[in-house]
Amino acid sequence: MSERVITLGGGCFWCTEAVFVRVKGVTDVESGYCNGHVHQPSYEQVCEGDTGHVEVVQLRYDDTQVSLTQLLEVFFAVHDPTTLNRQGNDVGSQYRSGIYTESPDDLKQAQDWVAQLNADKVFGKPVATEVLARANYWPAEGYHQDFFERNPHQGYCAFVVGPKVAKFQKTFVHLLRP
């Protein structure tokens, strides 16, 4: 096994986490905050929008089972990468679309991916996803971890997270965990 790490911001981390826990080869998904300027930010601080952090999921994955390219395909299919600082009704810089890497090779691959999406006009408008080295990562509070799995009938989960999970399961059957 060759374990790698990528950190993705696709709006609310509950949505992003609920999708990626279902991807074969993903060995761990942790909700957290990154690329802000406050050390150990709280959810409340991040929600105020002045810490610079983005809500993210840190993925650990076995690259012999799933590639970074496949993870990026899922990522771009389950959120709107063209809106700046928002996903649906979630508005604020903490909900921005982002790819945050640990290695220069992954950074280059993600930058090239976004450039190609823009060149091909895949979304009909420019991709607003930022691609940066990951910095100042901090895990989210325990009650945010596995939120959808523990609260599938909670309003936001039922009406926002659930449809994203269903879209993933329909579109990426070949990447579903057994």
Instruction: Tokens for 8, please give them.
Output: 């993705």
Using CA atoms, how far apart are residues 3 and 70, in angstroms rounded to an integer? 15
Q: How many CA atoms lie within 13 A of 33 on its CB side?
A: 24
Planar angle of CA 169, 128, 72, nearest 5 degrees: 35
The yes-or-no answer on residue 15 being catalytic is no
Give the phi and the psi of residue 140 in degrees, each rounded to 5.
-70, 165
Main-chain dihedrals φ then ψ at residue 141, nearest 5 degrees: -55, 155
Catalytic residue among 12, 15, 34, 157: 12
Catalytic residues: 12
